Amino acid sequence: MLSVATQQGDFIFQGSAVDNVQELVTFIRERREAFPVDEFWISHEDAYPCLSLLTNGEYANLNYYLNETGNMWQSLGDLDKEITFLAAGIEWPAPADTVIPFETAIGCVEEFCHTLSRPTGIEWQEL
């Protein structure tokens, strides 16, 4: 089971792990078409670990939360401009070095869903 929280509500994906991941990726891609600036909180049955995905068109920002006691990391990228995302419904101008391409973020979402670990496809900074 995968659980996804968005500003428009919570969604549950049940079934096999592979089917869930593909359904989740399709869901994120379709929502990006309707809501280019969006926020997703992705977890399994427990609240932690979880992955937060912020999107703005072709850009993304990821945060990985291992637990509720403060073990968290943020994506590192090499973009040369600041991108504004919505975080908890509030506009947040992300520093350029935390922004990654949307497609790279999708790969990280897929890896997280299979392993529940911090994805290895990007660099991270501890917060």
DSSP per-residue letters across 95-113: -GGG-EEHHHHHHHHHHHH
* Residue 34, both tokens: 């309707």
pLDDT score recorded for residue 79 = 84
pTM of the model: 0.93
Q: Which amino acid is at 52?
A: S
Percent of the chain with pLDDT strictly greater than 90: 80
Span 102-117, mean pLDDT?
96
Query: What are the extents of the domains in the chain?
Result: 2-126
pLDDT score recorded for residue 51 = 97
pLDDT score recorded for residue 18 = 64
Percent of the chain with pLDDT strictly greater than 70: 97
Q: How far apart are CA 64 and CA 98, in angstroms?
A: 13
* Residue 60, both tokens: 């993304």
CA nearest neighbour of 50 among 73, 30, 27: 73
Does residue 57 or residue 17 have the better pLDDT? 57
pLDDT in tens, 8-47: 889 998 876 667 899 999 999 999 999 999 999 999 988 9
- Determine the angle formed by the axes of helices 102-115 and 17-34, rounding to 10 degrees: 150
Taking a C-beta distance cutoff of 8 angstroms, is the pair 106, 25 a contact? Answer: yes
> Is 1's pLDDT higher than 90?
no
